[in-house]
């Protein structure tokens, strides 16, 4: 809990500067891969919605989105974007409001980077996944040089850690998931793309 609070506080401090040309450039390319794994017009929990990049894109695709984030500052920016574009979503920062609820699709984009051990959070998300549902997550790829540039730059904001494809596979399997898809982006070449986008399901 203390680590989660520290992460939330750091994101609160950097929320106003989070959207910038670099994150926008990376985000557009990541979303192309994410959207390949998320059906249109479905119900989605966007866990760790940040400033709303994924939430907004999903709503443009007709999805009904519940957007959750531990950072109130990030969440308020996401909500303002949705209102500006005429969309409506449930924006939540209290994890207790998610208790007992499930979704057919959960996205968790750019979140697991910040957890030294991603398995506990993956298991938490498992509890919110409806039977035959899909979880879509991302990890920065340690094999790609951009991944280590991201690691070094994050030391000044919210420290993140790139992972190898092997580590990611093992972590997802330890958390109880079946790996259905692994996509790479920046470039979209297997094993060397900067971002790994995974589609996971219950076995």
Residue 20 lies in a domain: no
Residue 35 lies in a domain: no
According to the model, what pLDDT value does residue 91 have? 97
According to the model, what pLDDT value does residue 188 have? 83
CATH code (residue 93): 3.40.50.150
According to the model, what pLDDT value does residue 28 have? 82
According to the model, what pLDDT value does residue 11 have? 64
Distance CA 197, CA 108 (A): 10
Residue 82 lies in a domain: yes
According to the model, what pLDDT value does residue 82 have? 95
Going residue by residue through the chain, which has 203 residues, state the pLDDT in tens, using 9 for 90 and above.
Answer: 556 666 667 666 766 777 667 667 677 888 999 999 999 999 999 999 999 999 999 999 999 999 999 999 999 999 999 999 999 889 999 999 999 999 999 999 999 988 889 999 999 999 999 999 999 999 999 898 876 676 566 666 666 788 999 999 999 999 999 999 999 998 888 888 889 999 999 99
Residue 46 lies in a domain: yes
Domain count, the chain: 1
Counted residue by residue, the chain has a size of 203
Residue 183 lies in a domain: yes
Q: Domain range for residue 117? A: 2-15+25-30+41-201
According to the model, what pLDDT value does residue 144 have? 87
Residue 36 lies in a domain: no
């Amino acid at each position: 809990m203390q680590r989660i609070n520290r992460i939330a506080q750091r994101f609160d401090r950097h929320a106003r500067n989070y959207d910038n040309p670099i994150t926008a450039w990376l985000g557009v390319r990541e979303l192309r891969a994410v959207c390949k794994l998320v059906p249109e017009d479905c119900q989605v929990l966007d866990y760790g919605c940040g400033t709303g990049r994924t939430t907004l894109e999903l709503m443009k695709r007709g999805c009904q989105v519940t957007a959750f984030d531990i950072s109130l500052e990030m969440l308020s920016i996401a909500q303002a974007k949705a209102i500006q574009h005429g969309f409506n979503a449930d924006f939540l920062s209290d994890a207790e409001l998610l208790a007992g609820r499930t979704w057919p699709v959960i996205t968790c984009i750019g979140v697991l980077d910040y957890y030294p051990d991603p398995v506990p959070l993956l298991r938490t998300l498992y509890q919110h996944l409806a039977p035959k549902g899909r979880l879509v997550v991302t990890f920065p790829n340690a094999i790609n040089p951009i991944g280590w540039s991201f690691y070094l730059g994050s030391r000044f904001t919210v420290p993140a850690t790139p992972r190898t494809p092997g580590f990611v596979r093992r972590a997802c399997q330890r958390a109880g998931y079946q790996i259905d898809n692994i996509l790479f982006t920046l470039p979209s070449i297997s094993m060397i793309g900067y971002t790994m986008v995974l589609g996971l399901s219950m076995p």
